[in-house]
Each structure stands twice: as C-alpha cells, then as structure tokens.
Structure 1
Amino acid sequence: MARITQARAFMVDLQPKVRRTDAIQSFKSQETIFVVVTDADGATGMGYSYTIGDGGPSVLALLRYTLLPRLMGQEAERIEAVWRDLLFWTHATAVGPIMSLALAAVDTALWDMRGRKASLPLWQLAGGAKAQVPMYTTEGGWLHIAPEALVEDALAAREQGFRGSKVKIGKPTVSGDAARLGAVRRALGDDYEIMTDANQSMTSAEALRRVPMLEALNIGWFEEPLPSDDIAGHARLQAGSRVPVAVGESLYSPGQFADYIAAGACGIVQADVARVGGITPWLKVAHMAEAHNLVICPHFLMELHVSLVCAVPNAPWLEYIPQLDDVAAPMAREGGMALAPEAPGLGIDWDHARLAALTVAGSDFTVEV
C-alpha cells in the first residue's frame, strides 16, 4: 500500500443545456467540485461532487482547510478507514450536505485510484452484478413544459429505446398535474413507465389528494412528495398508496436511509452518491435496501451512477440527465440502455483541456504532505 502525498481541488461551473424547473426551484448550474489524489507510488485518482448552483465555495473551503490536510499520509487503499476518519474528524459538521458533498469528492477519487491501480472498472470492483441497465429520461419532463411537449419528448425517448420518463408534478391543483400525466399516459400507453417527482413541495394533505390520480394512471413512483425530514408523513403516505414512495436525493447518510426503511416510509431508495458522502456509503445504502427487498434508483449523476447501478443487483433504472458533455466523452449507451464503463476506475473520459478552461478563477489549490 502507498500513502497519499498530494491532493488537488478545483471547481468547474457547468451550465444546464436546457431549462430545468421543478415545484420549488430552477437548476441554475452544476458547481462541480473535483479532487485529484496522488499516492507515494505516483498513482492518481480523480473524483467529483456537485451542487445545483449554490454552496460550491463552502464545499471547497471544507476540503481546503479540514479534509484534505487530514487526508495527507493516510493509506490510499484503506478507503473505509479513510472515509470514517474524515467523517468523525469533522463530526461537528456532520450529518449535512456540505460535509457529505466534500467527503464524496474525496471518496470517489480514492475509488478511482483503486480501480486504476487494479486495472478494474468500478462496476466490477464494487460487485459486478450486470453490464448494462435500462434508463428513464427526466430531461423532457420539467414542470414548465406543456403537456403536448411532454408527449412529444416521451414519444421521441421511446423511439430511442428509453423505457420510461419522469414528469415533474406540483402544479397548484390536482387537475393541473393530472392533465400533464394523463396526456403522456394516453399517448404512450400502459407499457411505458411514467415516474413523478414533487421535489418536497407538498403538504401531507395535498400529497394524499394526488394518490388516487397517480394510482389510476399506473404511475411508477411518487418521488419526494414531502419535506425530506418528514419521515412520519412519508410513512403515512406510503401506507395509504399503491404507488411506491421514492426518497433519497435529500438524505445525507446511511443512517437517515435506515430510519426511512425502518419506518416503512419508502418503497424506492434514491441515494445520490455525492449527497450521501461517496461510493463507500452509497454501497452501504444499496445493500441495506437489498436486505429489505427494496430497489435503489439513484438521483442524477448518471456518468458516475451507471457504474454503481451495474455493481449491485437491486438497481433497475438509471436516470438520464446529461450534464458532463462539455467536459467528458458521452456515457456509453445503446438506445435506452446504459453500458457499464470498461475503463479502469470511474470510467469517465475527462477532457482535461476543457476542465482547465472552465475552472473557476481562484478555486484551484493543492495540499501536500
């Protein structure tokens, strides 16, 4: 084993290619925080994390002044030990999004290094359950999009081989949501999966009002209907609904997922590798879900999640939202199937010249032993 001798961090601000809106916000940009680690053998690994437009400098500050100095001198292969040490070293700031996002950038870099040194792709290193996975698209289902445009996008997606679409909900009335979802169901038929996402916008009463409509339209899941800290509300909702409740993009530790699962508050787990703190805790959540006969359908970051959903047996979907095309080669796919990367490590083919050109001024720094 070799000890970590250097870590570099920087931030790239990626603008969305299309307008992305939901019931509570608009996606402003992807502040993408990168960490490159180097060990005493000269091996490197590159990981990343993100925000949707706010907080990136805070993540960088935590890396610069706390996490990366603590990382120096640690054994690169002892990823579990490193993850736990960094978590508990800053326990006063955990659990929370800034801590988890910063920790994820380090953890994904270490897994990338491990894969590169072992000449193995992440999906095999972490389990190797399958070599491809079906995708559903969210890119044409944003809340501002009119019903006829939702239908047009879903028809085009099906023609490309996609097996499902996610449609944002949270209009002021149930009929407003029903009009959009109903138009897609009538046009696509019963064999095409339709997921919905309310983005924590509803009260318990408003969520319950929508359940009969979602059941009648055979909706695949009801995502984040309530604020993420309302476990009891989600449990009541799941108990009264034949549509699975999906949660996870706004949870930041395996323990938070354990609380949801223990309460029967979700039917689908949606851990986000960046928001939960990296690959190490993501795998814990995936296996926890499997042990409870639940599936994991991760949120966003398809270029990284493709390897993780292919690593585990209980991940039936990958969410399609392209965001890295300006700085990396497109993710490999055949029609509506995403293919597990074969390159060692994370398997993302970064365009380093573009990353350098897009690096936010003043964000680049290096910490060394």
Structure 2
Amino acid sequence: MARNAPPAPTPRDTAVNAPHSAPDAIRRIRLSSVRLPLAVPVSDAKVLTGRQRPMTEVALLFAEMATEDGHEGLGFSYSKRAGGPGQFAHAEEVAPDLLGEDPSDIGRLWTKLVWSGASVGRSGLATQAIAAFDVALWDLKARRAGLPLAKLLGAHRDSVRCYNTSGGFLHTPLDQVLDNASAALEAGIGGVKIKVGHPDRREDLRRLTAVREHLGEDAALMADANQQWDRPTARRMGRALEEFGLVWLEEPLDAYDAQGHAALAASLDTPVATGEMLVSVAEHAELIRTGAADVLQPDAPRIGGITPFLKLAALAEHQHLPLAPHFAMEIHLHLAAAYPYEPWVEHFDWLEPLFEERMEIRDGRMLVPRRPGLGVTLSGRAREWTVAERELGHA
C-alpha cells in the first residue's frame, strides 16, 4: 500500500457515502367504478321503517397503481345505495396530483389529496374516494417489502376472530336464518350476528330466542339494530336482550347520538358497539371521549383509508377499547391483526366474486394471508361489472 494512500473504506463508510438512488415515482393510475349486484335485495331495520329502500348492489371504487420501478398496488372504497358515481368523479379530479409522487410518502400524499378537494370537506364522500388511493399505497408498500400488510404494520397475531353478518338480515325468513347460522359455524366462522329492529319488538325476541336455542349457550351471538330505536326503546330492548348473553348490541341508537350511546352503555351489562357509519377520525374521537362505545367499529374506507384508521386505532388503544371493524374484511383483517387487543373482523361473502383469492377461515378465526400486501387481485367478474374507467399517466 502506498504510504499516503487513504484507508480502505469500511462498510459503514461505503453506505454513508454511496450516492442516493432516485426515489420511485407513481407513473400510472387506473380507476374503476364497479357495480356489484346482490343475489337477493337486502333489508335491515331502516328498510322496514321506510328510511331506505332495499339494497340491490354495492358500488366500489378501485384504484390500481404502478410505479416507475415496476411496483403495483390495489386499493378500494365502496358505497351502498348511493354515492358510487360521486366517489369515482372525485377520485378522477384528484388522481393527477399523485402522478410523479414517491409512493412511500403515504401520510403526505393523504394530506395532499385532502387539500386537493378541501372545498368539499375533509370527511364523507371526499375522503372515501381518497381511501381507495390510500389503501393502494399501503398495498404497494407491503408488496414491495414482500410482506402481508399486517406484518408490515406490525402484527400481534396471525389470525383474527371472525363472525358472519350476511346470513341474518331482516328480509331472511327465520328458518333460513337458522340454517345460515349453522352453515357459518360449520364453515369455521366464530360467531353469528343477526339483525333486530322490527316494528314489533316481540318479533325480535322471537327470532333471537330461536337463534340462541338453535346455536346453544356457548356460541358467540351479536345483534344489530341499525340505528332503529329511540332512547327509551333502546333501554327497554337492551334490558330485554340481556338474557341472550350477546357479545354486543350494535347501533341501538342514531349513529351520531354519542350521549345516548354512552348512557345506554353505562346501564347495560351487554356491551354496546357502534361507529360503522361515522366518516372521520374526529367523529370516532367523540365516541371515545364520551364513553359511547364498549366496542368500536370503524370502517377504513369510510373514514379515508388505512392512514386515518391507524390514527384512530391509537386513540382506541389508549382507552383499552376492543375493535370490530365494519365490512371490507379484505382490508380489515390486516388492520385487526395489527391491533394490540383481541379484535373481531366481520365476515361478508358479498365481495368475494370481485377477487381471485378467498380468505381462509379455521376454528373460528380468519387467517391473515401470507401473500404480500392485502393478498388479493381483481377477478374477471370485477372487470365485467365495471361501469366507468379512467387511466392516468403512462403505461
């Protein structure tokens, strides 16, 4: 070695002094508005009281992203009965602001998209459209890392307790409800939720009695009133339902009646669950502040995606609240697996035709996929049900 030659670089020196590679960039976004038909029109308590019409389809907004380095991500949001065209239109308007951006900067990009459409607000339809992009960015990040999303977030478990809802709607005859409940448990699902809120409360009690007797005392059973009752009715029904040993009583009151839910939760042994209809972290924070929910039920697509969901989960964890995220199990399975306290995830088979893969269920639990990202890809049926499409960027 020459006398005045510099010392050979150490691995650390090499890493520090190496030129920085250029960040990856979003080069293409494909938006799809999909109309998923339901085999049977669906009715809950809001239909029986004339507030809503039976639900015949679910509108979904899909966002597919690709980057300069060849990474891809898939995200979705949804709406029921109305709102699908509005979500798609808003997504079309703000999507160009993502082109050329580094997909790793998810928090910054969420804020950028919110401010792109700030004049229409920072919740509701606007952020539900943003949710499709946000989920796609998280899916892309996990795929690039070669990890399931739950592992990227930091999983506490590899499977999550799950319960079925789709077999217990009010339009379903009781005999069929019982058959559906048995089929769910035989398929390995861990619990069953049925709808209540008939105009005649005796019908609710008759159906719940039959389901409890059919399943036995040890089966996990939930009841969902879908915001049907006023405060006095909720108190009376809450007391009447205590005998059924419910895991929770869901949405007994208007979704925005935090004070009423708090008073009811304090008066009942049965846990009160709510939150699915709220569309922002701030609204859920009010539930937490008032003690309105024994079980919090946020919906990531409704509150703007995974980024705000994680903020909400931190608030819920601080108050030691159980979570039972609403709908969209393909997303919520990963988020529930990353929550410290043992959660539940809702099994709905409605969206299954949209994806090539199926969630695996065993011994009452839904297993986190080992595939990278969300672990799902769009099916040919999803393409067939597409009613509007827009591609931005370059192939």
Question: What's the TM-score bracket when you normalise by the shorter of the two chains?
Answer: over 0.9
What CA distance in whole angstroms lies between the structure 2 residues aligned with 1:288 and 1:274?
18
Assess if the C-alpha contact under 8 Å between 2:143 and 2:373 holds in 1.
yes
> Displacement of 1:85 after TM fit?
2.1
> Displacement of 1:295 after TM fit?
0.7
What CA distance in whole angstroms lies between the structure 1 residues aligned with 2:270 and 2:137?
38
Assess if the C-alpha contact under 8 Å between 1:174 and 1:209 holds in 2.
no
Assess if the C-alpha contact under 8 Å between 2:158 and 2:367 holds in 1.
yes
Which residues of 2 match residues 147-166 of structure 1 at below 5 A? 147-166=174-193
For 1:316, the equivalent position in structure 2 comes to 343
> Displacement of 1:19 after TM fit?
4.0
- 2:154 matched to 1:132? no
What CA distance in whole angstroms lies between the structure 1 residues aligned with 2:340 and 2:134?
22
Assess if the C-alpha contact under 8 Å between 2:188 and 2:361 holds in 1.
no
For 2:118, the equivalent position in structure 1 comes to 91
What CA distance in whole angstroms lies between the structure 2 residues aligned with 1:93 and 1:226?
28
Please tell me the root mean square deviation across aligned C-alpha atoms, in Å: 1.7
Assess if the C-alpha contact under 8 Å between 2:60 and 2:79 holds in 1.
yes
Assess if the C-alpha contact under 8 Å between 1:302 and 1:322 holds in 2.
no
Letter in 2 for 1:368: G
What CA distance in whole angstroms lies between the structure 2 residues aligned with 1:349 and 1:359?
15
Assess if the C-alpha contact under 8 Å between 1:201 and 1:226 holds in 2.
yes
CA displacement, residues 149-196 of structure 1 (integer Å, 9 cap, x when unaligned): 322322332233332110101011221211111111122222111111
What CA distance in whole angstroms lies between the structure 1 residues aligned with 2:314 and 2:222?
23
For 2:65, the equivalent position in structure 1 comes to 37
Letter in 1 for 2:81: G
What CA distance in whole angstroms lies between the structure 1 residues aligned with 2:182 and 2:32?
40
CA displacement, residues 255-308 of structure 1 (integer Å, 9 cap, x when unaligned): 111111000111111111110110111122222211111111011111221122
Of 20, 26, 46, the match for 1:4: 26
Assess if the C-alpha contact under 8 Å between 2:165 and 2:347 holds in 1.
yes
For 1:195, the equivalent position in structure 2 comes to 222
Assess if the C-alpha contact under 8 Å between 2:189 and 2:362 holds in 1.
no
CA displacement, residues 64-109 of structure 1 (integer Å, 9 cap, x when unaligned): 11x2122223221011111122223323322432112101101001
Structure number with bigger Rg: 2
Assess if the C-alpha contact under 8 Å between 2:281 and 2:303 holds in 1.
yes
Of 341, 347, 366, the match for 2:391: 366
What CA distance in whole angstroms lies between the structure 2 residues aligned with 1:21 and 1:250?
17
> Displacement of 1:10 after TM fit?
1.0
For 1:106, the equivalent position in structure 2 comes to 133
Q: Does 150-159 or 236-245 show the bigger shift?
A: 150-159
For 1:347, the equivalent position in structure 2 comes to 375
What CA distance in whole angstroms lies between the structure 2 residues aligned with 1:142 and 1:37?
36
Assess if the C-alpha contact under 8 Å between 1:197 and 1:225 holds in 2.
yes
Assess if the C-alpha contact under 8 Å between 1:297 and 1:315 holds in 2.
no
For 2:9, the equivalent position in structure 1 comes to none
> Displacement of 1:335 after TM fit?
5.1
What CA distance in whole angstroms lies between the structure 2 residues aligned with 1:34 and 1:152?
34
> Displacement of 1:244 after TM fit?
1.5
Assess if the C-alpha contact under 8 Å between 1:148 and 1:183 holds in 2.
no
What CA distance in whole angstroms lies between the structure 1 residues aligned with 2:169 and 2:125?
26
What CA distance in whole angstroms lies between the structure 2 residues aligned with 1:226 and 1:69?
40
Identity %: 37
CA displacement, residues 110-152 of structure 1 (integer Å, 9 cap, x when unaligned): 0111011111110101121111112111121101223333223
Of 271, 276, 285, the match for 2:298: 271
Letter in 1 for 2:29: A
User: Helix, strand or coil: the match of 1:191?
Assistant: coil
| Alignment TM-score, normalising by the size of structure 2 | 0.88
> Displacement of 1:18 after TM fit?
4.2
Letter in 2 for 1:60: F
Assess if the C-alpha contact under 8 Å between 1:141 and 1:150 holds in 2.
yes
> Which consecutive residues of structure 1, in runs of 5 or more, have no partner in the other structure?
none
> Displacement of 1:340 after TM fit?
0.3
Assess if the C-alpha contact under 8 Å between 2:190 and 2:365 holds in 1.
no
> Displacement of 1:330 after TM fit?
1.8
What CA distance in whole angstroms lies between the structure 1 residues aligned with 2:78 and 2:335?
17
Would the alpha carbon gap of residues 73 and 260 (structure 1) be closer, same or farther in structure 2, given more than 3 Å must change? same
> Which consecutive residues of structure 2, in runs of 5 or more, have no partner in the other structure?
1-22, 48-53
| Alignment TM-score, normalising by the size of structure 1 | 0.94
- 2:239 matched to 1:212? yes
What CA distance in whole angstroms lies between the structure 1 residues aligned with 2:244 and 2:351?
33
CA displacement, residues 213-244 of structure 1 (integer Å, 9 cap, x when unaligned): 12121111111122222112212221222221
What CA distance in whole angstroms lies between the structure 1 residues aligned with 2:63 and 2:30?
6
